[in-house]
Amino acid sequence: MKSAAVQPAINVEEIRAQFPILKELVHGKPLVYFDNAATSQKPRRVIKAESAYYATINANVHRGVHTLSTKATEAQEAAREIIRKHINAKHAHEVIFTSGTTASMNLAAFSLGQLLLKPGDEVLISEMEHHANIVPWQMACERHGAKLKVIPVTDSGELALGSSDHLIDQFSDRTRILTISHVSNTLGTINPVKELIAEAKKRGIITVVDGAQAIAHLDIDVQDLSCDLYAFSGHKAYGPTGTGVLYGREELLERMPPWQGGGEMIDVVTFEKTTYAKLPFKFEAGTPHIAGIIGLGEAFRWMEDYDFAFAKASAERGKSAFAAHEHMLLEHATKELLAIDGLRIIGTAKEKVGVISFVIDGVHHYDLGTLLDQQGIAVRTGHHCTQPLMERFGVSGTTRASFACFNTIAEVDALVAGVKKAVKMLR
Ligand SMILES: Cc1ncc(COP(=O)(O)O)c(C=O)c1O
């Protein structure tokens, strides 16, 4: 199908050439990878950085006086610094390495629960949260006798924030923590987190942001957002799996108790009492995923080079250049998919990243995903770890295509043609 879309603002072919996996065939067809919200593909620089660690400087960090240990430590701490700079944290020790958003949220919920929650207190989340931003808080509430309260979602997939003179009617004088996704993994909705945080702060409420789906698409500035904690996964931002970050405001992190105990996180251990290490090590028990962290640092360097370097020329709506490109793909996909009889998009918010979830009358998402895979097209099907949101929209699951900087209009056209073909076979 001929596309009327505008010229991409970034050089997609130059970017594609850096992703070795895009040369793979799936069922004999060129891979079309539209499952970036689950995990993004990795540029060669990231793969190389990770394997170079094992090949040349493999040693444990912060523990040895020998050369390799020093080099490994320096490489890991350089990654912390590049991430600090990218998200504009004030201090490198406000960047805590975890294994992903799930681990970051479990740390936050456990530690903030211990610090803040008393019986009858409330933790406020939203109906569009990923299970990783529901279950850890539910567990914390159970431990401390607190209640989980939920901001509902409108039919278009936006937060229902209440009457206009009260940005959030759901706040009460027992609300202690607001924890909310920056971007919904299922709907693509970009939530007005800055405004929500400002409202929460007026009431002395601690704010936590699940940035898993924002980090690769929005220009994140934690000081501008003024959040207390911000969590994300490295593997959704062109970095290795098993890596993630919990950013925390220094003064709050100082007050928060550690989540896991063990080596690295201690100052002095006796059988009577243990004192804890300084930030960030207080929250980094055990040997970290050193190779992954070094790869993650390289992913952020890569994004700085290829995304934000282009951003000056092409930035739209205050986002990165990648986001502008992905938004162009989103608009094209939305228009073309909506022309298919019986297709309904779940998530039609005004502000969205390049995520499109849909259902089709008489077609099960699992069958559709399987048939698309036969054509080399990778999409995600199911509840996307947002079961309460599926219930809200009265569906058992959706088919979700999620775009990255290396996707093209021709690939979106292949998806649309693939969906049409599958619908003919399934109806
Ligand atoms: C919004 C959101 N939060 C949390 C997570 C959990 O991330 P991870 O599995 O990397 O820990 C995901 C993963 O899809 C997500 O999309």
> Quick one: which of 56, 34, 157, 84 has its CA closest to 304?
84
Buried b (16+ CB within 10 A) or exposed e, 258-274: bbeeeebbbeeeeeeee
308 belongs to a structural domain: no
Helical axes 290-303 vs 44-52, angle rounded to 10°? 150
307 belongs to a structural domain: no
Give the CATH number of the domain where residue 61 resides. 3.40.640.10
Residue numbers annotated as active site:
385
Q: Is 151 helix (H, G, I), strand (E, B) or coil?
A: strand
Ligand 1 binding pocket, CB closer than 6 Å = 100-102, 130, 132-133, 181, 185, 210, 212-213, 233
Distance (angstroms) between ligand 1 centre and the Cα of 165 equals 33
- Give residue 10's pLDDT: 81
Tokens (6 digits) for 126: 């939203």
Which residues have a Cβ under 8 Å from the Cβ of 17 and sit 6 or more positions away? none
- Give residue 163's pLDDT: 77
Q: Answer yes or no: do 60 and 165 share one domain.
A: yes
Q: Answer yes or no: do 261 and 335 share one domain.
A: no
Q: CA geometry: angle at 385 spanning 140 and 244, to 5°?
A: 70
Q: Can you say whether the dihedral through the CA atoms of 231, 237, 238, 241 is positive or negative?
A: positive
Nearest atom of ligand 1 to the alpha carbon of 236: 10
> Quick one: which of 283, 267, 284, 247 has its CA closest to 61?
284
Contact 333, 34 (CB under 8 A): no
Considering only CA atoms, give the Rg of the chain.
Answer: 22
Neighbours of 205 (CB within 10 A): 21
Residue nearest to atom 14 of ligand 1 (CA): 38
Q: Is 4 helix (H, G, I), strand (E, B) or coil?
A: coil
75 belongs to a structural domain: yes
Q: Is 95 helix (H, G, I), strand (E, B) or coil?
A: strand
- Give residue 6's pLDDT: 42
- Give residue 310's pLDDT: 55
Q: Answer yes or no: do 199 and 325 share one domain.
A: no
290 belongs to a structural domain: yes
Of the three residues 267, 301, 335, the one that is the final residue of a domain is: 301
310 belongs to a structural domain: no
Tokens (6 digits) for 251: 């003064």
- Given the DSSP bridges, would you call strands 398-402 and 380-382 parallel, antiparallel or unpaired? antiparallel
Distance (angstroms) between ligand 1 centre and the Cα of 163 equals 30
From 213, 217, 238, 245, give the residue whose CB has the most ligand 1 atoms within 8 Å, as the site to mutate. 213
Q: Answer yes or no: do 195 and 283 share one domain.
A: yes
Q: Answer yes or no: do 127 and 75 share one domain.
A: yes
Neighbours of 374 (CB within 10 A): 14
Residue nearest to atom 16 of ligand 1 (CA): 185
Q: Answer yes or no: do 159 and 241 share one domain.
A: yes
Q: Answer yes or no: do 68 and 198 share one domain.
A: yes
- Give residue 166's pLDDT: 76
Distance (angstroms) between ligand 1 centre and the Cα of 213 equals 7
Q: Answer yes or no: do 114 and 243 share one domain.
A: yes
The residue to which tokens 């009492």 are assigned: 273
229 belongs to a structural domain: yes
Q: Answer yes or no: do 58 and 167 share one domain.
A: yes
Q: What is the domain range of residue 383?
A: 12-30+316-426
Amino acid occupying residue 289: H
Query: Residue 89 gets which letter from DSSP?
Result: -
40 belongs to a structural domain: no
CA trace torsion 212, 216, 219, 221 (10° rounding): 40
Residue nearest to atom 15 of ligand 1 (CA): 212
Q: Answer yes or no: do 95 and 150 share one domain.
A: yes
Distance in angstroms (rounded) separating the CA atoms of residues 204 and 201? 5
Distance in angstroms (rounded) separating the CA atoms of residues 369 and 146? 40
Tokens (6 digits) for 195: 């405004």
Q: Answer yes or no: do 341 and 412 share one domain.
A: yes
Total number of domains in the chain: 2
Nearest atom of ligand 1 to the alpha carbon of 181: 1
Give the CATH number of the domain where residue 362 resides. 3.90.1150.10
395 belongs to a structural domain: yes
- Give residue 3's pLDDT: 39
> Quick one: which of 225, 235, 194 has its CA closest to 404?
235
- Low-confidence stretches of the chain (pLDDT < 50) are 1-8, 314-318
Distance (angstroms) between ligand 1 centre and the Cα of 128 equals 12
- Give residue 2's pLDDT: 34
Q: Answer yes or no: do 260 and 227 share one domain.
A: yes
Distance in angstroms (rounded) separating the CA atoms of residues 352 and 350? 6
Of the three residues 301, 331, 366, the one that is the final residue of a domain is: 301
Of the three residues 301, 336, 351, the one that is the final residue of a domain is: 301
Residue nearest to atom 7 of ligand 1 (CA): 101
| Helix, strand and coil in the chain, % to nearest 5 | 40, 20, 40
CA distances from 18 to 11, 43, 48, 150 (A): 12, 5, 11, 42
